Structure 1
Amino acid sequence: MDTKIITDEEGFLQIREDWERLTDLDPDATYYSTFEFNYSWWQVFGKDRNKQLFILCHYRDNEMVAIAPLMIRVIDKKIVKCRVLSFLGKGDYFNFIIDSSTFKSASIIRELMNTIEKQAVQWDKIELTHLRMETQLLKYLMRHDRYSKHTEYLTSCARVDSDDYESFADFEKEMLNTKLRRKKVKLKDETGYRFRIVTGSESDDMYDKISRIHLQEKKYLNEVKGRRERASLFEDSYNEHFLKRMFKGNDKILFFYLETDDGDIIIYKCCYLYRNVLYGWNTGYSPKYSHYHGISDVLLMEMIESLFQSSCTKQLDFGAGTYSWKFRWTNRFSVSYSFTMWNESSQQSRLLRLLTQSRDILRAVKGLKNAL
């Protein structure tokens, strides 16, 4: 029984075969667990000197049976720096990757957590987020006398599952109303739209198309709707580099969109495909069609109908966020939690907690004054 820690990109690349094997064996794995996602993300965002790899690889009988895909982020608070141990990447689901076919998951997770605690000199805070309630990692943390008090509700993820219905007609009967159907008919009559599905391996220019639309949408919302807070992930050069790497030749990236006869995209939604699940992560619409109310509803209707016709996709995951519009499409959802624990032996940690408490007190006092 042994646990090794990988801190360099060369070591990261060397465990690719084991990583992919473990992902295939772990029933809790999502697309955010895959080697291609994590390695692609690190090759771009790992160039930040404030990020350090901290991948734990656990072995039993000289065979790797688990990976904790972690990193240490240094957050500069000016007065003091905080070293945060967190998951690699950015997504809606994170987890340790475990082969529990021979050894119990709880036993493996215990060894990984013990290693993390033995390395406490390297971190001031653990921040593991987006832990889905069905996973063995969350169950372990919730049952642990020490860890459970640091585990809290974070968000919910709604999901449509075609297996919950006999047919799309049954889904329509239960979840759709006359108003939604009228939106679809109206848009079809006035634009003659086509519903299309394209993978990253089938198109080399989809990144350019959707980034242009998303930036146009952001500009429209800022300037016309007065929503100054609205930003676009395509404005960030790091995101651009990462997404272009991910899109290129990737048949696990799917683009769903409505287009006019002349090829003008009305609205799109991008998803990652993994184990028959579509993980939605980005959507955007052309401001030219903003006067049509409910174009996002029309696209979702087309996407959900495609689930019933496809042999490789069965579920549509709306991603993290407890928004009412998501739950109008489904009765199925999962709950995600976060695990946040300070290093009690770290002087920096104690100072940061003191500063945080002082800030919260000042905010409370200011709020009280404003109320009076």
Structure 2
Amino acid sequence: MRTEHSWITTPVTASLLRGVVDVEHTEHGLLPHRLPAWARAQCADPQLAMAESQPAGVRLAFRTRATVVELETLPTKRAYVGAPPRPDGVYELLVDGRPAGRATVTGGNTLTVDMTAGTTEWAPGPPGTLRFAGLSDRPKDVEIWLPHNETTELVALRTDASVEPAADPGRKVWLHHGSSISHGSDAAGPTSTWPALAASLGGVELINLGLGGGALLDPFTARTLRDTPADLISVKLGINVVNADLMRLRAFGPAVHGFLDTIREGHPTAPLLVVSPLLCPIHEDTPGPSGPDFSDVAEGRLRFRAMGDPAERAAGKLTLTVIRDELAALVQRRAVDDPNLYHLDGRELYGEADYAELPLPDELHPDAAAHRRIGERFADLAFARGAFAGAREAV
């Protein structure tokens, strides 16, 4: 290890980041965002604000000969009233594309959420530092994937050798939008969310706009997708519309049409894949909203339940079965004039047999093993022999 006098502090700028849509300069450093400032200004929902600031798919990427890398950050931890403590967010190190370490940062701010009362409380805390040591003293490409589920302000990057932004890898860019499952939900780490796994297997660069609780067909999200450079685009739609009991069938179809129309304004010919919801038994035939079930909290488990009435489907309330049928028919109609538009039934990624083997621990979100299965299946169904086949070809 080099001496302390050889430390080099490199300003963290957007040039060192991949998978990011926008950055905000704060009093502490740089805060990555996955929605631009103008979009954030159009919605005051605290859930969306939290989700888009959690850097799923965002990573520092640089080239260096450093043997030691330190990253000082200010995380914002989440705590839920009545639920067991959440683990610290995980940072993952890749060296020349291969896993080389994991770390966490203690301390930081705390956001306490009371799901019963619908309130939040924020408490400030100090920054912390993670360290990766023992790296080889040779030029190498280094990536540090930020926690997919923990808002992270980047304070300082310190190394014992100079740093420069990594070269453009020359891979196609895959832009994906979805719900908390795409965001990462209960994945083991930032490189183990199903989109990150699928991107690795597909040989593409990921921009993950999976927004926990925020896949609600918002026009500003469609415009963000429209304006973000990408070669391949997928949108996974449906579950959050049911979770939030946001709209009825009459509004859903036109909203999806408008969402896709907006994306096509910026990406008229890019392969565009519409993915319907994964299997979620509580909402297959029962409308939302979803609500927390605290009956097992004492045993360390929080579950969700469907709070709607199946009879309400007659009045246009949405279920996953209804949404899948509507999306399949909608894409089929549009594809007559849009040969680069595709559809994938989400149950091909996670269906009844998968639920029997790898059930959803909280009845909404897959666990780490299911994330891996979903990512591998998406890589096969989309990248190997589907809408995105040929994506490994250089741009």
Which of structures 1 and 2 has the larger relative contact order (alpha carbons within 8 angstroms, sep 6+)? Answer: 1
Same fold, judged at TM 0.5 (above): no
Between Structure 1 and Structure 2, which shows a larger proportion of helix residues?
A: 1
Larger Rg computed on CA atoms = 1
Give the TM-score normalised by structure 1. Answer: 0.29
Give the TM-score normalised by structure 2. Answer: 0.28
